[in-house]
Copies of this chain bind each other. A is one copy, B any other.
Amino acid sequence: MAAARVSGKALDHAVLCGLVGYNVRRAELYMRQEFERNLGARRFRPGEFSALVLIAANPQVTQSGLAHAMGIRPPNMVGLIGRLERRKLVRRAADPRDRRNQTLDTTAKGESLLREARRQVAAGDRRAARALSRDERAQLISLLRRLHGIG
């Protein structure tokens, strides 16, 4: 058998290309790399940015409520929030209604960082999707939202 030895780029991946799952994974990888190129200097990961946005928009959100909203398992949430707290971007407090819970709020430093990061992320997101027209980008977002069923 003539074995097709191929370099990375040229690999035959026809079977995978017809799968939504495979293309969503590749798109997620691509967007994450673009995000890191864009926001890496601020030491922000996509999940940290999302968490900060959600905490700012939802004062006194509980950690478990945030985990649920982000589709993240509570153990993974602990590390993420810990990183934001050590950087003094968010603050924890005991929930007055249920002492077993903790609520989260952004600090002034967190708000200020977020204001700039938000602009940078929005611009980076548009730049990353420059292969698509404005309408196609909107269409992609709409299809993805129907796929994952959130919001």
A binding-site residues for B, Cβ under 8 Å: 1, 3-9, 11-32, 34-35, 46-47, 50, 53-54, 57-62, 64-69, 71, 97, 103, 118, 121-122, 125, 128-129, 131-132, 136-137, 139-141, 143-151
Contact in complex: B141, A71 (CB < 8 Å): no
Contact in complex: A11, B143 (CB < 8 Å): no
Contact in complex: B121, A19 (CB < 8 Å): yes
Contact in complex: B57, A27 (CB < 8 Å): no
Closest chain-B Cβ to A120's Cβ sits at a distance in Å of: 12
Closest chain-B Cβ to A1's Cβ sits at a distance in Å of: 7
* Bound complex: CA A4 to CA B59 (Å): 6
Residues of chain B with a CB closer than 8 A to A28's CB: 24-25, 27-28
Closest chain-B Cβ to A13's Cβ sits at a distance in Å of: 6
Contact in complex: A132, B144 (CB < 8 Å): no
Can you name the residue of chain B whose Cβ is closest to the Cβ of A97? B5
Residues of chain B with a CB closer than 8 A to A59's CB: 1, 3-5
* Bound complex: CA A6 to CA B118 (Å): 23
Contact in complex: B148, A27 (CB < 8 Å): yes
